Structure 1
Amino acid sequence: MSLQEDLLNDMKAAMKNKDKEKVAVIRMARAAIKDAAINERKDLSDDEVIEVLSKLVKQSKESLEGFEKAERPEQVEELKREIEILEGYLPEQLSDSELEDVVDETIAEVGAQDMSDMGQVMGAIMPKIKGKADGSEVNQLVREKLQ
């Protein structure tokens, strides 16, 4: 079963259970997926759907920081629940040690020596970890390793 079918089935179940919050989050995700499909002019694969969901999670986390700074506890809790629901459809995230292993392995594969090889390393590593780690975390870790 595809990820889009999972979303549809979960939305139907949430409607039956009268879980308005989950229905709203899944509808938002399905709308973003539909927009991406229209922009690409094709049906999206599961990998592409994961990419869309990852962007939604990233946007929500950025909004969460803003609401925390503004001391808006209702919105903070709402966004935390939204992130939790969306992350349920993403692949399991890599632990810090697993991510570090992948970074070390990729640096060795590419033969990177310093910061001038940063683009090569990032280009090689991102397809390996797509949806399994935040790109900014990976970028920071690669920078630390190449300095």
Structure 2
Amino acid sequence: MTLKEQITDDMKAAMRAKETAKLGTIRLLTAAMKQKEVDERIELDDGMVLVIIEKMIKQRKDSITQFEAGGRQDLADIEKAELEILSKYMPAALSDEEVQAAVAAAVAETGAVGPQDMRKVIDVLKTRLAGRADMGKVSGLVKAALAK
């Protein structure tokens, strides 16, 4: 079962169970997925769905920070609930050692020798680590590996 099918099944289950918060969040996710498919005239695979979910998770984290800074704990709680629902669709995160091993393998595979080759390495890692590692940290690790 693809991630997209799982999300659709979860939406149906939320409708039957009358879980309005979960249903609303899943509907936002499916709307974002359909928008991407229509805009780019493509069929989403699991990797592309994960990118959409990552983006939505990042938006929720930013919103939580802003709401808490503004003293709106009620809105922050809503965002936290949505964040929890979206996070269930993400694969398990990789450990630091696994990420470092993936970076080393990608550097060796691409034949990268310096900072000018960083883009090649990042492109390889984006597909392999999608949703399983923070790409900001990965970028730093690649930069450090290529600076040696």
**TM-score computed with the length of structure 2 as normaliser:** 0.84
Partner of 2:141: 141
Aligned to 1:97: 97
Letter in 2 for 1:124: V
Q: 21-30 or 47-56, which moves further after superposition? A: 47-56
Moved more, 7-16 or 18-27: 7-16
**CA–CA distance in 2 between the matches of 1:30 and 1:6?**
11
Contact kept, 8 Å, 2:90 with 2:131, in 1: the verdict is yes
Residue 4 of structure 1 pairs with residue 4 of structure 2: yes
Q: Write the distance in 1 (CA, Å) between the matches of 2:19 and 2:12.
A: 10
Moved over 4 A (4+): none
1:26 CA displacement: 0.2
1:32 is displaced (CA, Å) by 0.4
SS in 1 for 2:56: helix
CA contact (8 A) 2:47 2:127 kept: no
Determine helix, strand or coil for the equivalent of 2:131.
coil
Query: Which residue pairs with 1:48 in the alignment?
Result: 48
In 2, Cα distance between equivalents of 1:68 and 1:100: 34
- Quote how far apart the aligned CAs of 1:20 are: 1.2
Given the alignment of the two structures, is residue 131 of structure 1 paired with residue 137 of structure 2, yes or no?
no
Structure 1 residues 87 and 68: CA distance shift in structure 2, 3 A: same
- 1:18 aligned partner: 18
Q: Given residue 51 of structure 1, which amino acid in structure 2 is its aligned partner?
A: V
Distance in 1 (alpha carbons) for counterparts of 2:71 and 2:142: 34
2:114–2:146 CA contact under 8 A, matched in 1:
yes
List alignment gaps of at least 5 residues for structure 1: none
How far did 1:31 drift?
0.4
Tell me which amino acid in the other structure corresponds to 1:132. R
**Aligned-partner residue type, residue 14 of structure 1:** A
1:41 CA drift (Å): 1.6
2-side partners of 1:48 and 1:145: how far apart?
Answer: 27
| Equivalences, count | 147
Note the 1:17-96 alignment, pairs <5 A.
17-96=17-96
| 1:14-41, Cα deviation, whole Å (9 max, x unpaired) | 2222221101100000100110111122
Distance 2:134 2:119 in 1: 17
Identity of aligned residues (%): 37
Contact between 2:7 and 2:26, CA under 8 Å: does it hold in 1? yes
Structure 1 pair 68–27 and aligned structure 2 pair: CA distance change class (3 A): same
